[in-house]
Structure 1
Amino acid sequence: MRLIALCLGLSSLLWGAGRQLEAYFIDVEGGQATLLIAPSGESMLIDTGWPGFDSRDAKRIAKAAEHAGVKQIDYLLVTHFHVDHAGGVPQLAALLPIRNFIDHGESVERDAAGEKLYKSYMAVRARGHHIEAAPGTVLPIRGVRAEIVTAGGRHIEQPLPGAGQPNPFCAATKLRDVDPSENAQSVGTVFTFGRFRMVDLGDLTWNKEYDLMCPKNRLGQADVYVVTHHGMNLSGTPAVVAGLHPRVAVMDNGATKGGTAEAWDAMHHTAGLQDIWQLHFAQAGGSQHNAPETYIANLRATPDAGDWIHLTAFEDGSFRVENGRNGFTKTYPAR
C-alpha cells in the first residue's frame, strides 16, 4: 500500500510539474511565428514567417521546437494570407510534420502574388486535416482553451465569460478607411489557461479592432497582449490596447518593420502595463520608443542570432518571460 501511495504521489507531482503553458515568440524578422506548447504536450504554431533566405524562418521554428521537445506541429494556425505569416509553410513542412491546418478560408487577395502564396499553402494543407476558423470556435488542442474571436472579417457577437462591460476607450478610437486586405481577415485567438489569459489578434486592422471591442469589451482583460500587426500604426487602437488592460505586451517586430512610435506610445501609456518585450530593437524608435535593452531579444538589424522570447504561464495566473539573448527572466505574480 505504501508503494502504491508513493507511486500515486509521485505521478501527481510529475503531472503538477507539467501543468504549464509555454510560448516561444520566434524572431522571423518582422513576420510572425509563435510556438505554443500546451500542458498536454500538444503544440500549436501561429504563423510561419517568410519564405526564402535559405529556409531561415523554418529553421528558427524548428530550433525552437527542438528546444521545447516538440517533434511535430499538431496545429498550425495561419492568421491570414500574407507572405510574412504564411510564406514559410512549405519550408517548415519539409522540416517538421504538420497535422492540422487552421485558417479563415479562402484568401481575399487574388492578385498574382496573392494567388501564388495561397496555392503554395493549399498544396501543403492538402496533406493534413483542415479546420476552418470561425468566431466562437474552440480549437481542440488539449490543456488550454483556445477560442477564436475574429476570423474572415467577422467577430464574436457574445462577450467571453466575465467580459461585456462598456469599453471607455472606444471614444478615443476614431474610425479610418475600410481595409480590404487580408489583414482585416485575421484569425484572432484568446488563450485561457486557468487564470492566465493571452490575446493574439494577428494583423487585425484598426476598424476591425474597434468592431470587436466596441461599444462593449467582448474580450475582457489579458495578462499578455501579443501586439497586433507587429506594432504598426495600422492597428493598436486604444479600444484594444487599453481595453485589454494587459500586464505585459510582446511585440514581434523587426528592426525596420513595426515598432512604430505611435504604437509604442499607445502601449507605454496604458495604465497597468508593466513591461514591453520586443523581438527587435526598432531602429526608427530610437531611445525614446524602445524598451530597455534587457527586454529586447535582438539588438542589431543584421546579422542577428534570431533570439526568441520564451513565456511560461501557470494556472494561478502567474507567468515568467525570458529573453533568449541574455537569459534575463522576469516573473509576474498572479493578479
Structure 2
Amino acid sequence: MAKRKTKRNSKRNTPRNSIIVVLLTLFIGFYLVEGGWQDWVDPNNSSFSATTTQTGAEAGRLRVIFLDVGQGASQLLISPSGKTMLIDAGNNDREQQMVDDLHAYGVKHLDIVIGTHPDADHIGGLDRVIDHFEVGDIYMPKIQANTKTYESLLRSIKNKGLKVKTAKAGVQLDWDEAVDAEMVAPVAASDDSNNMSAVVRVTYGSSSYLLTGDAERESEQAMLSAGRELQADVMLVGHHGSKSSTSPAFLKRVRPKYAVIQVGEDNSYGHPKQTILDRLAKQHVEVYRNDLQGNIEIASDGSKYYITTER
C-alpha cells in the first residue's frame, strides 16, 4: 500500500456546541449502558460464519498487523482460521483509510472490535468501521468522554443495534479455538482514560503478543501487582513510546523480543522518547516503528515469527 501523509483532525468542539455534544453523549451513553454495560448479542448476528480467507504462506498463521495510522494506533488480528479482531482505529482523519485497509486485507466482517479507551487517536475511525462492516462483539472500558468523537462512535454502535461489553482484566475473548485471547487490564477503575486502556494478551502455540493501548505506569503497576501472566515475545509499546509508559519493572516482566511503536512521522509530542528507545535497546529488544516502516505485520505459525513491513 502506498505511503500516506498524516493529517490531523481532532473534531474538536466549539464553545457554542459543546453543551449539545455533552447532552447527546450522555443520552446515547445511557441508552447503551443502562443498568450496566450489557453482555448483549444481536440475534441477527448469531449466524456469523464468514471468515477472512488465509491462503498460501498465510494459512495456519496468526497475523497481527500494526496499521500505520499516523499519530494514533490500530491493530488488526487475523486468526489461523480467518477470524478477525480490530483493536482501535486511529484518529478521525484516518476513517476512510481504515475502511480501505480492512478491505485490502480481505476483511469482510469483524468478529471482535475493541476500543481500548476513548481518546480520539484510538477510536476516531471506529465509527466509520462500524458503519461499513458487520460486527460481532464490541468491547470498551467503563470510562466515557464528552467529545464529538466519542458521541459519534456511540451513535454508530446504537445504529447497528449493538451493545458494548465491558473491557476489563479477566475477560476471556471467544474468538478462535486455537488462539487464547485475554484482557489483562484495566485491573481497577481509574479517572485517567489512558490507565483505563484495555490491554490484551494473545497466545498461539508458543508465540505471544501484548497489546497495551495507552496504558501508563499506574495500569502497569496494577497488572504487576495482580500477578497476571504478562510475558510476551511481541509487545506494543504503551502510549506511542511516551515516558509515561513502559516502566523498567513492566518491561522486565514482559521480556519482549520484538516491540512495535505506533507513532506518526510528524507529531508534536516527540514520540517515541529517547529514554524509552534506550530502555528497549538495553533489553536487546528489536524495535519496529510505523513512522519508519509503514504497516508492520508480525505473524506466527505457533512457533516461528514472520515479520514483514510496508517499507
Specify the TM-score bucket, using the shorter chain as the normaliser: 0.7 to 0.9
- In the other structure, the counterpart of 1:25 is 66
1:265 aligns with 2:306: no
Aligned counterpart in structure 1 of residue 264 of structure 2, from 232, 254, 261: 254
Which amino acid letter does the alignment assign opposite residue 279 of structure 2?
Answer: A
Residue segments in structure 2 that go unaligned for 5+ positions in a row = 1-54
- In the other structure, the counterpart of 1:82 is 119
- In the other structure, the counterpart of 2:51 is none
Q: Is the 8 A contact 1:222 1:244 kept in 2?
A: yes
Which amino acid letter does the alignment assign opposite residue 229 of structure 2?
Answer: L
SS of 2:253's equivalent in the other structure is coil
1:100 aligns with 2:100: no
* RCO higher in structure (CA 8 A, sep ≥6): 2
- In the other structure, the counterpart of 2:128 is 91
Q: Which has the larger radius of gyration?
A: 1
- In the other structure, the counterpart of 1:39 is 80
Residue segments in structure 1 that go unaligned for 5+ positions in a row = 1-13, 155-178, 281-295, 298-306, 326-335
Q: Is the 8 A contact 1:153 1:186 kept in 2?
A: no
- In the other structure, the counterpart of 2:218 is 207
**Closer, same or farther: CA 16–308 of 1 in aligned 2, 3 Å:** closer
Aligned counterpart in structure 2 of residue 133 of structure 1, from 167, 171, 175: 167
Greater mean deviation of Cα atoms: 124-133 or 82-91: 124-133
The root-mean-square deviation of aligned C-alpha atoms, in Å, is 2.2
Q: Is the 8 A contact 1:105 1:152 kept in 2?
A: no
Q: Is the 8 A contact 1:217 1:243 kept in 2?
A: no
Counterparts of residues 41-190 of structure 1 (less than 5 Å): 41-51=82-92, 53=93, 57-107=94-144, 109=145, 114-126=146-158, 127=160, 128-142=162-176, 143-151=178-186, 153=188, 180-190=191-201
Q: Deviations over 1:219-267 (max 9, x none)?
A: 2421101111110111110112222111000110122242111111111
Q: Is the 8 A contact 1:152 1:186 kept in 2?
A: no
For normalisation by structure 1, the TM-score amounts to: 0.69
- Number of residue pairs matched by the alignment: 251
Q: Is the 8 A contact 2:95 2:124 kept in 1?
A: no
Q: Is the 8 A contact 1:25 1:308 kept in 2?
A: yes
Percent identity, please.
25
> Distance in 2 between the 1:62 and 1:314 partners?
27
Q: Deviations over 1:52-94 (max 9, x none)?
A: x3xxx23332333233221122211010000101122222234
SS of 1:266's equivalent in the other structure is helix
- In the other structure, the counterpart of 2:7 is none
For normalisation by structure 2, the TM-score amounts to: 0.74
**Closer, same or farther: CA 16–124 of 1 in aligned 2, 3 Å:** same
